[in-house]
Amino acid sequence: MQVDILSLFPRYFEGPFSESILARAREKGLVTIRQTDIRDFAQDKHNKVDDRPYGGGPGMVLMAEPVAQAIEKVKTPDTKVVYLSPQGKTLSASHCEELARCPHLVLLCGHYEGIDQRLIDTMVDEEISIGDYVLTSGCSPAVVLLDAVMRFVPGVLGHERAAQEDSFQNGILDCPHYTRPETWRGLSVPEVLQKGNHDHINKWRHTQSMLRTQRRRPALLSRYQQELESPRQMSPSEFGLHEITLPVSKLNKSKRFYRDVLGFVLVEETDRNLILELGSLRLRLQEGTLPQEELRSRFTLGPFTEEAIQKILDRMRRAHRGQETWEANSIDKSIELLDPDAYQWTLLELK
């Protein structure tokens, strides 16, 4: 793979590309990285590449022409030009895997307030962000992107399974890892890992991944469960819907809870399937085997107005003949309740 980096600070990259995995990939000839200084294409004798923004405002904007000439200098017919900016699509593992198949990447690093939009509109193929925060330049995002992409280039990691098995590649977080000594400051390595039964170890690792994902990134877990159900289908998030699939023990009991108590709208009903919606949440209930209690997901709904919450609680009282089967948390104004299968729902109240 050929990579060209266009920036105002070519020396910025000397360190990260001369160490560790990226250095070895370059030595093995798996990637060739070239630096281009955008300032070499300045149009005046003062080497000026930036100017004040039209319409006013603070800071400076990189001018289109020097950047255009820098791109034209390195561009070939199979080049993909990537601009790193907070306005881009957030980088994901599957996106990195795709970029790793590209023979020539140009990574365009902005500085100051960014680059003239006309250059971006006409010469950039993809705008990519590494996360929701602003940095002083696109240089460190270019390093991050290249590091993440190179791990998918065959031969870079040495152990070929690794990138595929890592966290996110299958959509959930990685399991914990341990190494020697067996006991460190009184803490021992989980027994199942010491025993060496690979079936048990794989199961344990998968459970750990699921538990971590449930606690730390619940939205990732529901997407993962959804994809296990119906791979390759267009994801509901593309329609602005967030979809959750839940195995339940009795469809009718669940229907009474979700439709009659929580106020979901029933949109589809078959023998073994119910689809209900509330706002942008689509819930698919399927009669089937419940997950183990500790793997049973927790969900959040809302925020609701005070009146809406009162309505739900009235219906809860009626359904349970006056018993109060929920818990109110007055600190963050939330209500916790359990569905008929002990899935936990947290209702948020508008503050």
Q: Does 346 bind ligand 4GO (CB under 6 A)?
A: no
The packing angle between helices 139-150 and 20-27, to 10°, is 70
- 313 near ligand 4GO (CB under 6 A): no
CA angle 172-135-11, nearest 5°?
105
**Shortest spacing between CB 60 and ligand 4GO, in angstroms:** 10
Residue 150 Cα to chain centre, angstroms: 19
Under DSSP, is residue 34 helix (H, G, I), strand (E, B) or coil? strand
Which residue bears the tokens 């009795």?
250
Q: Is 130 in the site for ligand 4GO (CB under 6 A)?
A: yes
Provide the minimum distance between the beta carbon of 50 and ligand 4GO in the complex, in angstroms, as a whole number.
11
Active-site entry in 14, 98, 166, 314? 166
**First CA to last CA across the chain, in angstroms?**
52
Please name which of 155, 110, 92 lies closest in space to residue 5, comparing C-alpha atoms. Answer: 110
255 belongs to the binding site for ligand 4GO (CB under 6 A): no
Q: How many residues sit close enough to ligand 4GO to count as binding (CB under 6 A)?
A: 15
Alpha helices in the chain (DSSP H): 20-27, 64-74, 93-99, 117-123, 139-150, 162-165, 191-195, 198-216, 218-229, 251-255, 306-319
Residue with CB nearest ligand 4GO?
A: 110
Catalytic residue at 10? no
Closest approach, Cβ 152 to ligand 4GO, in A, equals 19
Would the CA dihedral through 84, 89, 148, 132 be positive or negative?
A: positive
Contact present, 299 and 343 (Cβ < 8 Å): yes
Give kind and range of the element (H or E) at residue 346.
strand 344-349
- Catalytic one among 53, 86, 218, 303? 86
Among 134, 187, 234, 331, the residue binding ligand 4GO under the rule CB under 6 A is 134
Decide: is 53 part of the binding site for ligand 4GO (CB under 6 A): no
Region near ligand 4GO per CB under 6 A, out of 17-25, 63-71, 137-145, 198-206? 137-145
Stretch that binds ligand 4GO, among 131-139, 178-186, 322-330, 341-349 (CB under 6 A): 131-139
151 is a site residue for ligand 4GO (CB under 6 A): no
Nearest Cα to 125, choosing from 140, 97, 104?
A: 104
Is 190 a residue that touches ligand 4GO (CB under 6 A)? Answer: no
What are the contacts of 179-182 at 24+ separation with CB within 8 A? none
Here the tokens at position 60 are 């400076």
Q: How far apart are CA 95 and CA 219, in angstroms?
A: 19
Among the listed residues 151, 212, 223, 284, the single catalytic one is 151
Specify whether 166 is catalytic. yes
151 is catalytic: yes
Question: Annotated catalytic, 141?
Answer: no
Binding piece for ligand 4GO, criterion CB under 6 A, among 70-78, 132-140, 224-232, 322-330:
132-140
Least Å distance, CB 67 to ligand 4GO, is 12
Restricted to residues 56-115, the positions that interact with ligand 4GO (CB under 6 A) are 84-86, 110-111, 114
Q: From residue 37, how far is each of 80, 116, 331, 335 by CA, in Å? A: 19, 17, 54, 57
The piece of 133-141, 261-269, 306-314, 341-349 that touches ligand 4GO (CB under 6 A) is 133-141
Query: Where in 17-46 is the site for ligand 4GO (CB under 6 A)?
Result: none
Question: Using CB under 6 A as the criterion, which residues of the chain lie in contact with ligand 4GO when the complex forms?
Answer: 84-86, 110-111, 114, 129-131, 133-135, 137-138, 141
> Which positions are annotated as active-site residues?
86, 113, 151, 166
